[in-house]
Structure 1
Amino acid sequence: MIPRFKLLRASALVLCCLPLWLSAHAADKYPDKPVRVVVPFPAGGGTDTMARTLGLALQQALGQPFLVDNKSGATGNIGTEFVARSPGDGYTLLVVPNSLAINKFLFPRLAFDPQKSFKPVALLGSSPVVVGVKASLPVNSIQELIAMARKNPGKLSYASCGSGSPQHIAGELFKMMAKVDITHIPYKGCSPAAVDAAGGLVDVVFNTVANIRPFVQTGKVRALAVTSAKRSALAPELPTVQESNLPGYDIEVWFGALAPAGTPDAVIARLNAEINKTLARPEIRDGMEKISYEAVGGSSKQFADVIQRDLERYGAIISKANIKID
């Protein structure tokens, strides 16, 4: 006969270890059916392109289809909420930009929490915002732009990709740190904002590398700097805003993969490992650079830290600048 206390202790040990065994077992089998990759924006954009590149590579590595499902609407919130409500089994993933961190402060009644509702899988890529000016504006550096703005408060205008976009936040942070008054003009998308800057309808533009580059090459827009903390391989000739006597200025657009909360840790680890292998492939890195994104990668914890950092920063900027969705 086994003493009762020993039997209870053994049972408790089994129950304690069971979740770990189930998690490891899930990863051994995973994936054994197609995986849905939700993109909360329309097809054809940067997030969609990132997801499709990732999905094809994971399909080749893991032997199951990774099918992109575009669920757009409400500035990304519809698709994001769909994933938050999905089973935590690893068969529904989310690929999303840093609107995940921004929208918390723009939509106070969200049905999901950017941290509690998800488990970060991996950071996929990033891109700086480019600060440019129309060709006729007589400034050639961030310092000269600040000097002109200070001499002409409220007279200069800047275009962003839309209210609440990372480019808008980059512009407002610039105004705060440089202590200048520049009128914000929100556009419905990065492309029309870049077109109007090239046409001289706005003085300054905060936009993506991909949208600004063609107009820089034709001389219709003069690029002054990138907003990232370090110079970007996507535009190595451009200094950072930090180098222009604005230490601490740092805004980037990032893209990451997440899974619903409750997804087994072993499945997250499996996906993270495969994503990092994918991002290390030269053809993937080169392909991402061609669409103006740098491959990042790293651990799930590192991605979680980026989300936490941006929640703290964006919340403060949005509150101080009183940013609202039009």
Structure 2
Amino acid sequence: MSAAQTTNTYPNQAIRMVVPYPPGGPTDITARVVAAEMSKTIGQSVVIDNRPGASGMIGSEMVTKSTPDGYTLLANASIHVINPSVYPDMRFDAIKDFTPITQLAQVPLVLVVPANSPIKSVKDLVEYAKANPGKVNFGSAGSASAQHLAGESFKIAAGIQMQHIPYKGSAPALTDLAGGQLQLMFDSMPSATPMINSGKLRAIAVTTTARAKARPDLPTIAESGFPGFDISTWYAYWAPKGTPADIIEKLATSAAQALKNPEVIAKYEAMGAEPVGSTPAQFAAYVESEAKKWNDIVKKSGAKLD
């Protein structure tokens, strides 16, 4: 089949977008908003299929085994290129077994604590942790996630003790945090925002060097006594290796159009996510550079699997 014929006939059925985390987490939210808009422009439904587990690897591996015809895609976060630095025996190659489609968004992480916590600043957190060794637990969306590595990096930078508690996604971790089972969490802005807005959680600071556009009132960790502290996460779409280039281009174009829609932009901004919409070539280069960056962070932070 020629490229022109492929483009003209694709898609002629619903597209399955595998999200390797539970509903309600940041990967799910950012993917779902764009998928809904793509369904309008691409001519077929783009259906979210949540397949959580193993730090996103169960759903990701499923996609590698799918027919590369553009009907099974992966929506994942930066953990996609973090996992290889932490898991020595992965059953797939996070770069070689996928074709990058587009980066959806860049997102700062936000340090959150329960609403009734005595911790109201980064300084408070450091003092509390030093006064309560062995009693500070921080949650994450899973071992080796950006949330996990942010916590490990801060622990080392601040010289404090914190115990990492991994969850199968951000949503259940946030629930336990609001309930007081955890003392803090570095979470993606999109998933933490609803609980911050409802008053269940208190936002303390963001992990990027610049203040977040969505919450300019929040200080950065860098300006709170830790110069150079800079961690963010991102979300993207991939297809299985071997998916025809014209289909990849069509998907990327549709996603980019969705990311320019004022309603999508408004939803992303409300979540604290900044739309990107890169080309497949741009995203492929970004994936390569990010894999190296996160590998360096894993080594420097000393992060281990729990």
* TM norm structure 1: 0.78
Instruction: Decide which moves more: 29-38 or 273-282.
Output: 29-38
> What secondary structure sits across from 1:127 in the alignment?
strand
- Equivalent residue for 2:161? 182
Deviations 1:70-100 (A, max 9, x none): 3333222122112112232222211111221
Deviations 1:170-198 (A, max 9, x none): 0111233x241222241535456545655
Q: Give, as a single letter, the amino acid of the residue that structure 1 aligns with 2:291.
A: L
Q: How far, CA to CA, are the matches of 1:157 and 1:280 in structure 2?
A: 42
Q: How far, CA to CA, are the matches of 2:36 and 2:178 in structure 1?
A: 36
Select which of 42, 51, 64 maps to 1:71.
51
1:157 is aligned to 2:139: no
Alignment of 1:51-200 (within 5 A): 51-133=31-113, 141-142=121-122, 145-146=125-126, 154=133, 157-161=136-140, 162-176=142-156, 178-188=157-167, 190-191=170-171, 193-194=173-174
Instruction: Decide which moves more: 26-35 or 95-104.
Output: 26-35
- Displacement after TM superposition at 1:156 (Å): 6.5
- Displacement after TM superposition at 1:204 (Å): 4.2
> What secondary structure sits across from 1:206 in the alignment?
strand
Q: Give, as a single letter, the amino acid of the residue that structure 2 aligns with 1:227.
A: T
Q: Give, as a single letter, the amino acid of the residue that structure 2 aligns with 1:260.
A: P
Contact 2:29-2:190 at 8 Å conserved across structures: no
Q: Give, as a single letter, the amino acid of the residue that structure 2 aligns with 1:287.
A: K
Deviations 1:230-271 (A, max 9, x none): 322232211222333534322223210011112222222222
Contact 1:37-1:93 at 8 Å conserved across structures: yes
- Equivalent residue for 1:316? 296
Contact 1:40-1:72 at 8 Å conserved across structures: yes
Contact 2:193-2:271 at 8 Å conserved across structures: no
> What secondary structure sits across from 1:256 in the alignment?
strand
> What secondary structure sits across from 1:173 in the alignment?
helix
Q: How far, CA to CA, are the matches of 2:173 and 2:17 in structure 1?
A: 29
* TM norm structure 2: 0.83
Contact 1:159-1:193 at 8 Å conserved across structures: no
**How many positions carry a matched residue from both structures?**
304
Alignment of 1:11-22 (within 5 A): 22=2
Q: Let me know the Cα RMSD of the aligned residues.
A: 3.1
* More relative contact order, 1 or 2 (CA 8 Å, 6+ apart): 2
The alpha-carbon distance between structure 1 residues 182 and 134, as it changes in their structure 2 partners (threshold 3 A), is farther
1:261 is aligned to 2:207: no
The alpha-carbon distance between structure 1 residues 222 and 83, as it changes in their structure 2 partners (threshold 3 A), is closer
Contact 1:234-1:294 at 8 Å conserved across structures: no
Instruction: Decide which moves more: 89-98 or 140-149.
Output: 140-149
Query: Which structure has the bigger radius of gyration?
Result: 1
Q: Give, as a single letter, the amino acid of the residue that structure 2 aligns with 1:167.
A: Q
Q: How far, CA to CA, are the matches of 1:131 and 1:33 in structure 2?
A: 42
- Equivalent residue for 1:237? 217
Q: How far, CA to CA, are the matches of 1:215 and 1:268 in structure 2?
A: 36
Q: How far, CA to CA, are the matches of 2:109 and 2:70 in structure 1?
A: 32
